[in-house]
């Protein structure tokens, strides 16, 4: 039996990177998946899941749209009859625009996807989970939400908000049997971080990638997926309201401010 055998699960941002790795891992562990993304990559993810013998349906949706969030949750309920877990993973990068040059519109869009998106996932999943008396919510935050120096201002602020959302929601759900936790990726090789890796290769400094953490390397999407799997599963039944760095030990000292790759 897989750790998610028979469970109905939603993963947002499933079209690539961490979301795709999680989709493949969760379905190998027996989950019935609704894969959500606003790009056509979500169908490729579902095709890979099905090729491997898993069960999945694709939904193209904007994680920051309440209408779309309601629709993808309804899809899970209609397809599988219940909702056991949701990983609000969709997010966008804010870049490294100087603070004095950042616009309100820039901030609003990052907050809409990275923070309002998880809020909406939480808001619209908990009525179904609390009714059945169990459920697990996972949100993707970031080490940038824990301490400064890992990313730009709006991205870091959005991810700090996700961590606070997780902590406050855990107490809002007291006694319901529903758990919520966050994963905080460090430098993971995904489409979002591709410019970092590409720029390092252009400068001939790729050997420096990941050298600021004790493991001396960047992480891979499957390593985040493994943490998400644990949190979504019943094995984490006493884990609640926490934010877990998956960063090679980087946040043990956070030495990277002022030391660009």
Annotated catalytic residues are 155
Q: Residues 241, 232, 134, CA angle at the centre, nearest 5°?
A: 75
> Which own/partner pairs from 203-209 qualify as long-range (CB within 8 Å, at least 24 positions apart)?
205/261, 208/261, 209/261
Under 8 Å CB-to-CB from 39, ≥6 apart: which residues?
15, 16, 60
Both tokens of 102, joined, read: 């950042």
> Per DSSP, which regions of the chain are E strands?
8-12, 32-37, 55-60, 85-88, 135-140, 178-185, 243-246
Both tokens of 167, joined, read: 């902590």
Both tokens of 175, joined, read: 């006694």
**What order of strands is seen across the sheet that includes strand 8-12?**
55-60, 32-37, 8-12, 85-88, 135-140, 178-185, 243-246
Dmax (CA) of the chain:
55
Q: Which candidate, 240, 244, 119, places its Cα nearest to that of 176?
A: 240
Give the Cα separation of 173 and 213 in Å (integer).
35
């Amino acid at each position: 039996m897989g750790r998610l055998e028979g469970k109905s699960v939603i993963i947002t941002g499933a079209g690539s990177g961490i979301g795709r790795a999680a989709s493949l891992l969760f379905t190998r562990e027996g989950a019935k998946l609704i894969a959500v993304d606003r790009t056509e990559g979500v169908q490729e993810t579902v095709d890979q899941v099905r090729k491997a013998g898993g069960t999945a349906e694709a939904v193209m949706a904007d994680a920051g749209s309440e209408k779309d969030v309601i629709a993808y949750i309804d899809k899970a309920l209609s397809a599988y009859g219940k909702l056991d877990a949701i990983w609000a993973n969709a997010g966008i990068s804010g870049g490294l625009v100087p603070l004095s040059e950042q616009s309100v519109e820039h901030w609003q869009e990052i907050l809409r996807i990275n923070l309002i998106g998880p809020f909406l996932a939480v808001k619209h999943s908990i009525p179904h989970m609390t009714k059945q008396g169990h459920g697990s919510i996972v949100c993707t935050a970031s080490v940038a939400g824990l301490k400064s120096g890992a990313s730009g201002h709006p991205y870091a602020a959005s991810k700090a908000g996700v961590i606070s959302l997780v902590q406050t929601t855990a107490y809002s759900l007291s006694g319901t049997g529903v758990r919520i936790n966050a994963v905080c990726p460090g430098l993971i090789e995904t489409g979002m971080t591709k410019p970092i890796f590409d720029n390092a290769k252009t400068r001939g400094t790729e050997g420096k990638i990941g050298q600021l953490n004790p493991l001396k390397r960047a992480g891979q999407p499957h390593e985040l997926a493994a943490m998400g799997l644990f949190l979504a599963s019943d094995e984490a039944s006493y884990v609640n309201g926490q934010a877990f760095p998956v960063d090679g030990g980087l946040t043990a000292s956070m030495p990277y401010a002022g030391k660009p790759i």
